C-alpha cells in the first residue's frame, strides 16, 4: 500500500459513511414521492439534513444538498450575484480573495466575462491570509455597488485559515452577503455556520470521509438566491433534481463522525503534521514551509496540511519520484488536463514563478498513521536529490545541441 | 532498462510504448504539455497538444498498465520551437519546427530531465532505427518502411542523444501494421488520423499565423538581374519556389512563368526568375552535427600553414589571419576530404546524389566553426535557407546542417 499524503484531494470513506451508503443503496424510493417508499426515503434525507445541520452549526432548513463543493460554490456565487443585481442593478461588484479554489475563481471569472460583473481580487499576505484592510478599503470606497463577498474558510493548497469572522463583521456593517467555501475547513477545524455571520457556505462529502458526488450549500433562511439549475423545485426551489438518498445519508454519517471526533482527531493529525514538517526540515533544510507556521500560530493552519517549496526542483519531478517510491503527494495546484502550472495561490502570496514551480503539498487525514510520515521522510532525501539534479530542465535546458553552436 | 515513453496521444507512440513494455523494459508514459492553453490550442483539429490527445495517451497507458504523467514543457516549447519558427521566418528563412522540437525538446529538455530522474532512454513512435556498430557507437538509419521513414527529422540528433533514444517502430514494414497491432492490443487510438500540420498552428494557415507575429512591409519584387518587376506586401510571406500570388506588373521577357528564387529580408526584396534558375546545385550549411560518430572522411585535417592572404602581384603578404587552432589541431581553412553521399532537404523529399566536405571557417566572434559544403550532382528545386540538409550513405544518416546559402551555379549572384 502506498503512503497516502493527499487527503486534501480526497480522503478514504469512513466506516459509518460506508455503512450508511451500502444500506441506502440497497433500498429504493424517491424522496419526492408521496407513497410509503417515498416517505421512507424522504425520512432518511430529512434525518441526514438534521444531522448535517447539527454538524455544521446550522438549522436544518438551511441545508441545500448538491452534487459537491463545486456545485455549491457555483450556486452560491452565481445565485447571490444574480439575486442582488436583480434587486439593485448597481450591485455588480464581487469582492473575492485571490487564493480561492478554481470552483470559486472560475465562477467569478465567468460572471465577469458573461454577466458584466466587476471583480476585485483581494490581496493576501505572505502566509496567504486575506488582507482585511484591503477588504475594508473596498467596502468603504463603494459598498453600494457590491453584490457579494466571497472568501474561502481555509485554503486548499497551503492550509491557511482565513479570518472569516473579520470578513463577515466588515460586510455586515454594509449589509452585504458573504459566501465562504468551507470545503477544506469543515470536519477539520471547528466551523459553525450560524455563528459565522455568513449568508452561504459550501461543504463537500468526500473531503470528510463521505462519498464523492455529494455536498451541500448552507444558505441563510432569509438569503435570496437565483437558482442555477431548474426542474422539480427540490431543496427550497433553489436546487432542483432528485435527491440522492444514499449519498446524502452517507455524507451526513461522515459529517457526524468527523465533527464528533474533531477535537481528538485534529490534535492527533496536527501532531503527525508537525512531525512531518520537522522531518522535511531536518532532511531537506533548503525546503521552505509555505503558509502559516503552526509552531507560531497553530490555529492559523489546517491540522492536516503541510506545504513546501523545494528550491531548484520542479514539483512534477518530485511528485513523480515520490510516486515511484510509493508516496502519493500533490503539486497542490489545479490540473484538469494533468498540466501543472505555477499556483495562483503561491503567486498571490508573493512567490516568484520559479519558486512556485517547486511546490509540493502533503496532506494528512483520518487514516494517517506515524509510519506514513516515517516512510515519507525516508523516501524524501533521495527524491529531492534527484529532482534537484533534473532541475528546471523543462523550464530551461542546458543541453548543447546542433542549433546552440555558433 | 528504465524507459520514458513520450506519448503524443497518437497511435505510433502508443504502439512504441507497448513494444517497449513487451521487450521487458520498465516503462513510464509521459505526455508533454506544450501549451499553457491545451484546450484551445488545437480544438477541432488533428495533431498533438489537445486535452483529447492527453486523454488518449492516458488511456493507452491504462491499457498497457504503466504509470502516466503530464509534464509541462510549454515554456521551453514556446521559446525553442515557436519563437525560433517566428524568428527564422522573420529572417527570411524556412525552418522545420518538428526537427527543432526533436532537437531541443524531446531529445534534449525531456531527455535531460528523464536521465536525471533515473531513466535510461526516451522512447518515441518515430519511424527510424538506431543501430550499434559493434563498438558501442550508435548510428541512425532509415526505417524499414521508407514511405514512413522519419530519419530526416531525427537527423539532428547527436551521438549522445542517440545513445538514449529508442525507436521501437524501426523495423515495422508499414503504418497499416502499426494500426493493426494497436487494434489487436485494444488501444483506442488505432484508427486515429495521422497528424500532418504544424501542431501550434491550429488551422494549418501558416502564412496567416505568421502575419500576426511578424511585421510585414511592402517592398520590391526584382528579377534575376535586379530589375524591379513588381511589389510585394511583405517578403516574409513568400517561400522559395512559389509561383502563385506574385501579381507581377512587368511580364517576363520570354513570357514564361516566374518563380520566387530568393527572399532577401534585409533589403525586403523578393527575387523572381525562370524555373530553370530554381535548380540549386550548391548548398552551404552551418550548425552541422553528426548523427553518431562522424565518418573519417568528414573530419577536417590540420593544415600545415595558417592561411594567409597574399597580394597577387607583389610578394609581400598584405594580410594575415590570426592563427586560430582548435583543440583537435584544425585551424581556419582546414578542409576534410570530399565524400560521396545523398542529400535530402525536406522531410518527404527524395534524396539526391551529392558530394560533400567540411570546412573550418572563422565565425563572426573570432572563433572557428565548421561549415558543410554540399555539391548536388542532381540539382534540387525550391531549396531555402533555414531548411535542413541531411546527408545519407545508404540507409545511414551521416549528419545534418542548417542551409545558410543555396545557389544555382548557372545564376550569377546579384
Q: What is the pLDDT of residues A37-48, one digit of tens each?
A: 999 999 999 999
pLDDT of B317 strictly over 50: no
pLDDT of residue B303: 60
Asked which of A62-66, A274-278, B114-118, B257-261 is least confident by mean pLDDT, the reply is B257-261
Contact B108 A337 (CB under 8 A): no
B341 is catalytic: no
Contact A316 B69 (CB under 8 A): yes
Cross-chain CB nearest to B116 (options A335, A337, A390): A390
pLDDT of residue B146: 87
Distance from CA of B209 to the nearest CA of A (A): 24
- The answer for B49, left when phi > 0, alpha when psi is -120 to 50, beta otherwise, is left
Q: B49 to chain A: nearest residue by CA?
A: A337
Distance CA B292, CA B341 (A): 16
Distance CA A154, CA A171 (A): 19
The contact set of A with B (CB < 8 A) is: 316-317, 319-321, 323-324, 335-341, 386-387, 389-391, 393-399, 401-403, 405-406
Cell numbers at residue A84, please? 442582488
pLDDT of B321 strictly over 80: no
Chain B positions touching A401 (Cβ under 8 A) are 103-104, 107-108, 156, 158, 161, 289
CB B27 within 8 A of CB B3: yes
pLDDT of residue A214: 98
CB A376 within 8 A of CB A284: no
Write down the catalytic residue from B48, B98, B199, B332.
Answer: B199
Cross-chain CB nearest to B118 (options A316, A335, A386): A386
Contact A387 B363 (CB under 8 A): no
pLDDT of residue A28: 92
Cell numbers at residue A161, please? 485559515
pLDDT of B66 strictly over 80: yes
Contact A317 B369 (CB under 8 A): no
CB A128 within 8 A of CB A155: yes
pLDDT of residue B316: 47
Helix or strand run (H / E) with residue A204: strand A200-204
Does A71 or B328 have the greater pLDDT score?
A71
Chain A positions touching B54 (Cβ under 8 A) are 337-339
| Residue ranges covered by each domain of chain B | 2-184, 215-273, 277-407
How many A-B residue pairs are in contact by the CB < 8 A criterion? 108
The contact set of B with A (CB < 8 A) is: 28, 31, 33, 36, 38-39, 51, 54, 58, 67, 69-76, 80, 84, 100, 103-104, 107-113, 116-118, 156, 158, 161, 287-289, 363, 365, 367, 369, 400, 402
Class level of CATH domain A15-259: alpha beta
Chain B positions touching A319 (Cβ under 8 A) are 69
What's the CATH number for B277-407? 2.40.30.10
Distance CA B212, CA B305 (A): 52
A313 is catalytic: no
Beta partners for residue B26, in sequence order: B2
CB A276 within 8 A of CB A364: yes
Mutate to test the interface with B, among A323, A402, A404, A406 (most CBs of B within 10 A): A402
pLDDT of residue B202: 75
CB A218 within 8 A of CB A193: yes
Chain A positions touching B74 (Cβ under 8 A) are 339
Distance CA B199, CA B194 (A): 12
Write down the catalytic residue from B48, B49, B98, B101.
Answer: B101
Q: A321 to chain B: nearest residue by CA?
A: B117
Cross-chain CB nearest to A341 (options B31, B36, B76): B36
Confidence of residue A116 (pLDDT cuts 50, 70, 90): very high
Phi, psi angles (nearest 5°) of residue B309: -95, 120
Mean pLDDT, rounded, of chain A: 95
Contact A402 B118 (CB under 8 A): no
ipTM at complex level: 0.85
Give pairs for A322-325: CB < 8 Å, separation 24+: A322/A360, A322/A376, A322/A379, A322/A380, A322/A383, A323/A2, A323/B67, A324/B28, A324/B67, A325/A379, A325/A382, A325/A383
Q: Which one, of B275, B332, B322, lies nearest residue B302 by Cα? A: B332
Asked which of A59-68, A122-131, A316-325, B247-256 is least confident by mean pLDDT, the reply is B247-256
Contact A405 B36 (CB under 8 A): no
Report the percentage of chain A scoring pLDDT > 70. 96
CB B285 within 8 A of CB B374: yes
Distance from CA of B237 to the nearest CA of A (A): 24
pLDDT of A296 strictly over 70: yes
pLDDT of A18 strictly over 70: yes
Distance CA A256, CA A17 (A): 9
Contact A386 B116 (CB under 8 A): yes
Q: A396 to chain B: nearest residue by CA?
A: B76
Q: Which one, of B59, B57, B6, lies nearest residue B30 by Cα? A: B6
Confidence of residue B157 (pLDDT cuts 50, 70, 90): very high
Cross-chain CB nearest to B400 (options A340, A391, A402): A402
Read off the DSSP letter of residue A130. Answer: B
Chain B positions touching A336 (Cβ under 8 A) are 51
Cα–Cα–Cα angle for A361, A363, A366, nearest 5°? 170
| Residue ranges covered by each domain of chain A | 15-259, 262-405
Q: A317 to chain B: nearest residue by CA?
A: B117
CB B214 within 8 A of CB B90: yes
Class level of CATH domain A262-405: alpha beta
- Convert the pLDDT of each residue in B192-243 to its tens digit: 888 777 888 877 788 788 888 888 888 999 988 889 988 888 888 788 888 8
Asked which of A11-20, A97-106, A111-120, B323-332 is least confident by mean pLDDT, the reply is B323-332
Chain B positions touching A396 (Cβ under 8 A) are 76
pLDDT of residue A99: 97
Q: Is A248 helix (H, G, I), strand (E, B) or coil?
A: helix
Asked which of A27-41, A289-303, B34-48 is least confident by mean pLDDT, the reply is B34-48
Chain B positions touching A338 (Cβ under 8 A) are 31, 33, 54, 58, 69-70
What CATH architecture does domain B215-273 belong to?
Roll (2.30)
Q: B363 to chain A: nearest residue by CA?
A: A406
The label of the residue with cell 492527453 reads: B54
Helices (H), A213-349: 245-260, 262-283, 315-324, 344-348
Cross-chain CB nearest to A397 (options B108, B288, B289): B108
Mutate to test the interface with B, among A397, A404, A405 (most CBs of B within 10 A): A397
Write down the catalytic residue from A22, A87, A137, A335.
Answer: A335
pLDDT of residue B41: 42
Distance from CA of A406 to the nearest CA of B (A): 7
Read off the DSSP letter of residue A154. Answer: B
Give pairs for B161-165: CB < 8 Å, separation 24+: B161/A401, B161/B107, B161/B108, B161/B111, B162/B130, B162/B138, B162/B291, B162/B292, B163/B138, B164/B107, B164/B111, B164/B114, B164/B115, B164/B120, B164/B121, B164/B122, B165/B107, B165/B111, B165/B121, B165/B122, B165/B123, B165/B124, B165/B130, B165/B138
Cα dihedral B338→B341→B342→B345 (10° resolution): -50
- Convert the pLDDT of each residue in A146-199 to its tens digit: 999 999 999 999 999 999 999 999 999 999 999 999 999 999 999 999 999 999
Confidence of residue A333 (pLDDT cuts 50, 70, 90): low
Average pLDDT over every residue of B162-180: 94
Mean pLDDT, rounded, of chain B: 86
Contact B38 A337 (CB under 8 A): yes
pLDDT of residue A228: 96
pLDDT of B275 strictly over 90: no
Cα–Cα–Cα angle for A226, A228, A229, nearest 5°? 125
Cell numbers at residue A54, please? 447539527
Q: B110 to chain A: nearest residue by CA?
A: A394
pLDDT of residue B324: 61
Q: A389 to chain B: nearest residue by CA?
A: B116
Q: Is A89 helix (H, G, I), strand (E, B) or coil?
A: coil
Chain B positions touching A324 (Cβ under 8 A) are 28, 67
pLDDT of B410 strictly over 90: no
pLDDT of residue B307: 45
- Convert the pLDDT of each residue in B11-61 to its tens digit: 999 999 999 999 999 999 999 988 766 544 444 444 445 778 888 999 999
Contact B111 A399 (CB under 8 A): yes
Contact A401 B156 (CB under 8 A): yes
- Convert the pLDDT of each residue in B346-399 to its tens digit: 988 889 999 999 998 887 777 888 999 999 999 998 888 999 999 999 999 999
> Check: CATH 3.10.580.10 for B2-184?
no
Distance CA B260, CA B244 (A): 9
pTM for the model: 0.86
pLDDT of residue B300: 86
Distance CA A258, CA A238 (A): 27
Contact A406 B369 (CB under 8 A): yes
Cell numbers at residue B397, please? 544518416
| CB burial string B157-174: b at 16+ within 10 A, e below | bbbebbbbbbbbbbebee
Does B117 or B277 have the greater pLDDT score?
B117
Amino acid at each position: 500500500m502506498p503512503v497516502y499524503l493527499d487527503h486534501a484531494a480526497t480522503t478514504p470513506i469512513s466506516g459509518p459513511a460506508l455503512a450508511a451508503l451500502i444500506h441506502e443503496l440497497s433500498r429504493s424510493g424517491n424522496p419526492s414521492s408521496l407513497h410509503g417508499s417515498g416517505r421512507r426515503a424522504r425520512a432518511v434525507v430529512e434525518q441526514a439534513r438534521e444531522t448535517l445541520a447539527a454538524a455544521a452549526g446550522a438549522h436544518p432548513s438551511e441545508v441545500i444538498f448538491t452534487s459537491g463543493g463545486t456545485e455549491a460554490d457555483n450556486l452560491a456565487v452565481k445565485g447571490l450575484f444574480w439575486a442582488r443585481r436583480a434587486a439593485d442593478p448597481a450591485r455588480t461588484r464581487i469582492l473575492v480573495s485571490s487564493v480561492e479554489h478554481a470552483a470559486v475563481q472560475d465562477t467569478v471569472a465567468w460572471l465577469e466575462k458573461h454577466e458584466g460583473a466587476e471583480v476585485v481580487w483581494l490581496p493576501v499576505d505572505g502566509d496567504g491570509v486575506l488582507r482585511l484592510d484591503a477588504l475594508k478599503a473596498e467596502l468603504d470606497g463603494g459598498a453600494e455597488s457590491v453584490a457579494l463577498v466571497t472568501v474561502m474558510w481555509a485554503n486548499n493548497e497551503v492550509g491557511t485559515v482565513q479570518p472569516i469572522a473579520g470578513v463577515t463583521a466588515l460586510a455586515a456593517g454594509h449589509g452585504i452577503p458573504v459566501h465562504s467555501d468551507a470545503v477544506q475547513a469543515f470536519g477539520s477545524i471547528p466551523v459553525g455556520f450560524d455563528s459565522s455571520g455568513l449568508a452561504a457556505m459550501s461543504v463537500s462529502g468526500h473531503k470528510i470521509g463521505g462519498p464523492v458526488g455529494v455536498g451541500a450549500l448552507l444558505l441563510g433562511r432569509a438569503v435570496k438566491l437565483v437558482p442555477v439549475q431548474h426542474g422539480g423545485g427540490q431543496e427550497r426551489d433553489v436546487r432542483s433534481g432528485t435527491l440522492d438518498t444514499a449519498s446524502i445519508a452517507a455524507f451526513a454519517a461522515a459529517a457526524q463522525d468527523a465533527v464528533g471526533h474533531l477535537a481528538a482527531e485534529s490534535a492527533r493529525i496536527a501532531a503527525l503534521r508537525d512531525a512531518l514538517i520537522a522531518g522535511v526540515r531536518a532532511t531537506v533544510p533548503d525546503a521552505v514551509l509555505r503558509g502559516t507556521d503552526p509552531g507560531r500560530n497553530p490555529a492559523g493552519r489546517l491540522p492536516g496540511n503541510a506545504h513546501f517549496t523545494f528550491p531548484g526542483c520542479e514539483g512534477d519531478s518530485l511528485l513523480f519520484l515520490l510516486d515511484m517510491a510509493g508516496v502519493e503527494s500533490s503539486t497542490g495546484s489545479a490540473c484538469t488536463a494533468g498540466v501543472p502550472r505555477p499556483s495562483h495561490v503561491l503567486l498571490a502570496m508573493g512567490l516568484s514563478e520559479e519558486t512556485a514551480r517547486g511546490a509540493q503539498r502533503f496532506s494528512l487525514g483520518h487514516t494517517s498513521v506515524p509510519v506514513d510520515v516515517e516512510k515519507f521522510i525516508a523516501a524524501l532525501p533521495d527524491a529531492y536529490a534527484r529532482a534537484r539534479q533534473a532541475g528546471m530542465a523543462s523550464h530551461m535546458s542546458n543541453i548543447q545541441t546542433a542549433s546552440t553552436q555558433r | 532498462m528504465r524507459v520514458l515513453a513520450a506519448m503524443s496521444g497518437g497511435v505510433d507512440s502508443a504502439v512504441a510504448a507497448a513494444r517497449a513494455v513487451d521487450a521487458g523494459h520498465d516503462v513510464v508514459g509521459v505526455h508533454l504539455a506544450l501549451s499553457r492553453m491545451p484546450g484551445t490550442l488545437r480544438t477541432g483539429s488533428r495533431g498533438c497538444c489537445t486535452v483529447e490527445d492527453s486523454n488518449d495517451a492516458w488511456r493507452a497507458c491504462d491499457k498497457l498498465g504503466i504509470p502516466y504523467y503530464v509534464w509541462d514543457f510549454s515554456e521551453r516549447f514556446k521559446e525553442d520551437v515557436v519563437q525560433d519558427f517566428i524568428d527564422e521566418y522573420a529572417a527570411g528563412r524556412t525552418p522545420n519546427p518538428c526537427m527543432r522540437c526533436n532537437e531541443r525538446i524531446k531529445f534534449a529538455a525531456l531527455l535531460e530531465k528523464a536521465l536525471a530522474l533515473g531513466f535510461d532512454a526516451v522512447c518515441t513512435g518515430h519511424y527510424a532505427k538506431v543501430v550499434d556498430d559493434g563498438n558501442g557507437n550508435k548510428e541512425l538509419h532509415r526505417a524499414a518502411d521508407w514511405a514512413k521513414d522519419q530519419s530526416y527529422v531525427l537527423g539532428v540528433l547527436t551521438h549522445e542523444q542517440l545513445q538514449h533514444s529508442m525507436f521501437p517502430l524501426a523495423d515495422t514494414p508499414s503504418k497499416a501494421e502499426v494500426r493493426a497491432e494497436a487494434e489487436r492490443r485494444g488501444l483506442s487510438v488505432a484508427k486515429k488520423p495521422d497528424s500532418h500540420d504544424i501542431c501550434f498552428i491550429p488551422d494549418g494557415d501558416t502564412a496567416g499565423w505568421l502575419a500576426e507575429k511578424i511585421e510585414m512591409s511592402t517592398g520590391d519584387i526584382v528579377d534575376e538581374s535586379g530589375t524591379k518587376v513588381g511589389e510585394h506586401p511583405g517578403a516574409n510571406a513568400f517561400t522559395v519556389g512559389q509561383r502563385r500570388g506574385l501579381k507581377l506588373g512587368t511580364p517576363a521577357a520570354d513570357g514564361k512563368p516566374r518563380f520566387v528564387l530568393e527572399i532577401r529580408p534585409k533589403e525586403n526584396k523578393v527575387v523572381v526568375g525562370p524555373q530553370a534558375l530554381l535548380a540549386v546545385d550548391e548548398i552551404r550549411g552551418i550548425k552541422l552535427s553528426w548523427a553518431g560518430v562522424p565518418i573519417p572522411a568528414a573530419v577536417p585535417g590540420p593544415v600545415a600553414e595558417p592561411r594567409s592572404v597574399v597580394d597577387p602581384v607583389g610578394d609581400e603578404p598584405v594580410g594575415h589571419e590570426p592563427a586560430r587552432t582548435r583543440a583537435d589541431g584544425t585551424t581556419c581553412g582546414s578542409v576534410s576530404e570530399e565524400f560521396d553521399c545523398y542529400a535530402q532537404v525536406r522531410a518527404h523529399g527524395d534524396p539526391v546524389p551529392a558530394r560533400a566536405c567540411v570546412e573550418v571557417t572563422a565565425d563572426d566572434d573570432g572563433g572557428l566553426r565548421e561549415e558543410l559544403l554540399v555539391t548536388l550532382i542532381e540539382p534540387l528545386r525550391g531549396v531555402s535557407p533555414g531548411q535542413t540538409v541531411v546527408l545519407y550513405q545508404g540507409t545511414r544518416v551521416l549528419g545534418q546542417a542548417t542551409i545558410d546559402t543555396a545557389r544555382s551555379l548557372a545564376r550569377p549572384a546579384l
